[in-house]
Structure 1
Amino acid sequence: MTAGGPGATRSGHLPVMFEEVLEGLAVKADGTYLDGTFGRGGHARGVLQRLGPGGRLLLMDKDPEAIATAEREFGADGRVAVFRGSFADLAHWDETAGGLDGVLFDLGVSSPQLDVAERGFSFGKDGPLDMRMDPDGGESAAQWLARADEKEIADVLWTLGEERMSRRIARAIVAEREREPIVRTAQLAALIASVVPRGKEKIHPATRSFQAIRIHVNRELADLETGLEAAMQRLKAGGRLVVISFHSLEDRIAKQFIAARAKAPPANRRMPEPEPFTPTLRAIGGARKAGEAELAANPRARSAVLRVAERLQVAA
Structure 2
Amino acid sequence: MAARLEYTTEHHQFRELVRDFVQRMVVPNHEKWERDGQWDRSLFIEAGKLGLLGFSVPEHLGGPGVTDFRYNAIVIDELQRAGAAAEAISFTLQNDVVLPYLTDLTTAGQQQRWLPGVVTGETVLGIAMTEPGTGSDLAGIRTTAVRDGDDYLVNGAKTFISNGQIGDLFVIAVRTSADRHQGLSLLVVDPATPGFSRGRNLDKIGLHAQDTSELTFTDMRVPTANLLEAEGRGFYQLVKNLPQERLALGVGAVAAAEGILAETLDYVRDRTAFGSPIASFQNSQFVLAELATEIDVARTYLDDCLAEHLA
Instruction: Report if TM-score (shorter chain) is over 0.5.
Output: no
Which one has the bigger helix percentage? 2
Give the structure, 1 or 2, with the largest relative contact order (CA under 8 Å, sep 6 or more). Answer: 2
Q: TM-score, with normalisation over the residues of structure 2?
A: 0.25
Which one has the bigger strand percentage? 2
